[in-house]
Structures are given as structure tokens and as C-alpha cells.
Amino acid sequence: MSGYLSDIVTGGKSLVTGLAITAREFFRPVVTEQYPWEVPTMTPLFRGHIELIGNEETGEPNCVVCGMCQRACPSVCISLDGKKNESGKGKVLTRYILDFTKCSLCGSCVESCNFNALRFSRDYNLASFDKNDFTMDLMKRLEEQNRCKR
């Protein structure tokens, strides 16, 4: 019987403690963002998926198809191809595919790039019911960004 009463006293104490916390928080300002109607502010260290960086003058990607990003990726989510440059020096990027369903956003690809060709994007609202929407052709995205700048 004494165990029963002590359970009631302990339960009553926890109930009063919970109600006190609720009453205290009720009068504090609201910190919830009304997401679809209010755009959240992105922190400077936000990491979206990777994207190619284009040359300032030509708009072409800075990538020289060395393949370091592809080798550094532990998730094996990057595939790229290039062709020999017509001038005979180096390669030209022809295809850069990112499978974002595999990407762990570790940043190894960005860190391993010595040619300032990759960065993290500022895209945060990536939602879809189709898996194919997350296989991104970064060459096409760079071309679209260049068209928007003009």
C-alpha cells in the first residue's frame, strides 16, 4: 500500500513539474518559422549539393577533368567525362553527373579540387517523389545559371 501512495505522490510531482514548464514556455516569444510563407535565412556554412563553378569571362566550367573529385568521393556518386581539347592542351569537360541519392555531403570532392571548379550550392528545398530528380547533370545546371546571369 505504501508503494501505491508513493507512486501517486511521485506522479503528482512530475505532473506539477511538467505544468510549470508548460506555463513558463507559454509566455515566451514564438520561434517557429512559417516555412512555405517565410523563407529561412541560410547560414554561411550551409552545405547543399555540389555545383560547378564557371569561368568569369567564358562561363565554361573551371574543371580540367583530372578526376580527383571522383576518386575522393567515398560514396561513389560522381561520374565525369571529358574529351581532348582541340588546341591539344588538356581536356574539356563534357559530362558531370551527381547522384545526390548517394551523396553524404562530406565535402571530400570540394576539398580535393585544386582548380576551384566545385563548391556547395545554396539549394535547400530539394523534395521530390521521383528518385530520378536527384540525378543531376551539373553541366546543364551551369549552363542554366549562365543564361540567367545574362
pLDDT digits (tens, 9 = 90+) for 71-129: 999 999 999 999 998 877 889 999 999 999 999 999 999 999 999 999 999 888 888 99
Q: Tell me, yes or no, whether 42 lies in a domain.
A: no
Domain extent at residue 7: 1-31
37 found inside a domain:
no
Contact 100, 135 (CB under 8 A): yes
Encode pLDDT of 14-48 as tens digits: 999 999 999 999 999 988 888 888 888 888 888 89
Per-residue pLDDT at 1 exceeds 70: no
14 and 64 co-located in one domain: no
Contacts of 79 (CB under 8 A, 6+ apart): 70, 95, 96, 97, 99
Find the CATH number of the domain harbouring 59: 3.30.70.3270
Is this structure's pTM higher than 0.85?
Answer: no
SS3 sequence, 57-86? Answer: CCCCECCCCCCHHHHHCCCCCEEEEEEECC
**Could you give the number of structural domains in the chain?**
2
Q: Give the strand order in the sheet containing 78-84.
A: 78-84, 91-99, 135-137
**Closest residue by Cα to residue 63 from 77, 46, 74, 50:** 50
* 78 and 138 both lie in a single domain: yes
pLDDT at residue 90 in the model: 84
72 is a domain residue: yes
Residue 4 CB neighbour total at 10 angstroms: 8
